[in-house]
Amino acid sequence: MLQGDDFKKAASELDINKEALHADIKREIDKLETNTQPRVFRKKRLVLVSALLSLLLIFGSITVYAAFPSVRQFLNLFKTGSSEVGFHLDAEYLEIYTAADLDAVRNDLKANYKMMADIVFTDADFGVGGAFEGGWSPIGDRNNPFYGIFNGNGHVIYNLQINNPGEHAGLFGVIGARIFSPEPDDLLMGMVLNLGISGGKIVTSGEADYVGSIAGVGTYIVGCFSENVLIEAKANDTAPISVGGIIGKAQIIDSCYSSAQITLTGKEKEPMTFGTCDVVGGLAGEALTAVTSYFTGTIQAEKYHKTGEILATERFIPYVISSVQIQSITNIMEQKIDGFSFNVFQSLYSCIGYPEDETAENAREEKKWTDSIRYIMQNYLLFSIDEEIDAFYILPMDINRSELDRLENILLRVFDKEAIKSEFLNAGLKVGMLYCYNEETGRAASFDGFNFDTIWTQGGDLPSLAIFKK
């Protein structure tokens, strides 16, 4: 493993040709700049470019770092990246060892939790006289969502059984803030990561609006899986239902897989619009973004349900958009549409920015905002980040399908769908379905886009999450 001083020791023994070094770095940057797909950082390229940059910085050539965004991106990753497998967050956690510990999460919905062992439920746990008689009660609901971080830590919950739980069905009912707080640390409200659900059954009989193995509704689901889970849902008579192998509705699903067997029944007439129809997806019924994930289960749904192997439908608007990008879009729209204004976006997106007060006494707090927001954006919500961005706009979790349809239709009055999606991707935003596969397409593409260095491993027939192999 390279240590920080190794570069200095190597530099003292080498005769560096700075012009050649500049050319090598520029050549690597040009490769990146011409790649229109989101960056997937492979170990060889990372080591090569990081080494070149470190040597360059040792010799005082800072100008290249300032000049090229891709160099900044590589250098930032080199400084802050982790060689550990899985996804990692610095936070204070309460530890979970038993089913009773897991059940106690509902007593403090704002705390952070980390699993320290697998949890195995038995049929007796849900039977008459069992600790969870009648079935598991999902943690968090519409009025009292789970606001914390739940880190499965590479552990698995086995044989979870849920039977007619109410509006939201899953290990969690609702995770994440309904409307975002302006505090930067609240950006991670309701994240579940590194968690596996294996076996078990979820049954709903018409009351549920959102159904999934891990949660009914949630903000971010990262590095999770559900396997051999049976989901039997019945459509709601009064409202549309969203069903997924991982989650019913999410904002971002990143590096997940599911082999759930999903059945949805009960819709007898054709809905008027997508906003009022029932939706079923292998990972989620609804999500703004799904990245580097796959589904190998089955979906059975009746005629008037909309289905998709990953998501029921693909969106092309981003969950997060920067102040610069939103202003650029607004300027174009104002030229093309009479009466168009920034308020069209402002009415749906919530601004997450930095303090405007730049006085000396607020300098330390401003640094906290910057570090916190940038870390979260870089590692979870974006592919890359422009150092000049000073604010972001985020869609609240409780935005509904009809509102999203309206925003997409407004954009389509001026932009081509694929063109605007490509523009967002090139700006480093996560949008739509990216590197998502079923078993057949995944094998054909060798699961291109997956990070096999620290997130995924190819030890078996299909990729699995590396943190569960530790």
Given a contact cutoff of 8 angstroms between Cβ atoms, the answer to whether 140 and 173 are in contact is yes
The residue written with tokens 């999902």 in the block is 138
Q: What is the pLDDT of residue 63?
A: 34
Cα separation, 210 vs 400, whole angstroms: 13
- Beta bridge partner(s), residue 155: 195
Strands 191-198 and 215-222: parallel
Mean pLDDT of 22-32: 50
Is the four-CA dihedral 408, 412, 418, 420 of positive or negative sign?
negative
Cα separation, 104 vs 229, whole angstroms: 24
Residue-by-residue DSSP string for 382-404? BS---TT--EEEE--TT--HHHH
Q: Please calculate the CA angle 118-121-127 and round it to the nearest 5 degrees.
A: 170
Domains, the chain, ranges and CATH? 4-80 (no CATH), 94-308 (2.160.20), 320-416 (no CATH)
Structure tokens at 97: 């060892």
pLDDT tens per residue, range 106-157: 999 989 999 999 999 999 999 999 999 999 999 999 888 998 889 999 999 9
Cα separation, 270 vs 49, whole angstroms: 55
If we measure between CA atoms, which residue out of 311, 161, 149 comes closest to residue 221?
Answer: 149
3: enclosing H helix or E strand: none
Cα separation, 212 vs 138, whole angstroms: 11
State the helix-helix crossing angle for 43-58 and 4-13, rounded to 10 degrees.
60
- Beta bridge partner(s), residue 211: 169, 243
What radius of gyration, in Å, describes the C-alpha atoms of the chain?
A: 23
Predicted model pTM: 0.77
Q: What is the pLDDT of residue 37?
A: 41
- Beta bridge partner(s), residue 244: 281
Mean pLDDT of 16-40: 47
If we measure between CA atoms, which residue out of 146, 283, 165 comes closest to residue 218?
Answer: 146
The answer, yes or no, to whether residue 25 has pLDDT greater than 50, is no
pLDDT tens per residue, range 67-114: 333 332 333 332 233 445 666 666 688 999 999 999 999 999 989 999
pLDDT tens per residue, range 384-439: 877 667 678 888 777 888 888 888 988 898 999 998 888 888 888 889 999 999 99
Q: Please calculate the CA angle 260-270-202 and round it to the nearest 5 degrees.
A: 25
Mean pLDDT lowest among 38-42, 156-160, 351-355: 38-42
Q: What is the pLDDT of residue 47?
A: 40
- Beta bridge partner(s), residue 294: 257, 437
Indicate the DSSP class of residue 380: I
As to burial, measured by CB atoms within 10 angstroms (0-12 exposed, 13-18 middle, 19+ buried), residue 129 is exposed
Mean pLDDT of 248-259: 94
Q: How confident is the model at residue 336 (pLDDT cuts 50, 70, 90)?
A: confident
Cα separation, 196 vs 282, whole angstroms: 16
Q: How confident is the model at residue 325 (pLDDT cuts 50, 70, 90)?
A: confident
Q: What is the pLDDT of residue 190?
A: 81
Q: What is the pLDDT of residue 23?
A: 55
Q: How confident is the model at residue 196 (pLDDT cuts 50, 70, 90)?
A: very high
If we measure between CA atoms, which residue out of 92, 97, 88, 87 comes closest to residue 112?
Answer: 92
Q: Is 400 left (phi over 0), alpha (psi -120 to 50) or beta?
A: beta
Given a contact cutoff of 8 angstroms between Cβ atoms, the answer to whether 232 and 201 are in contact is yes
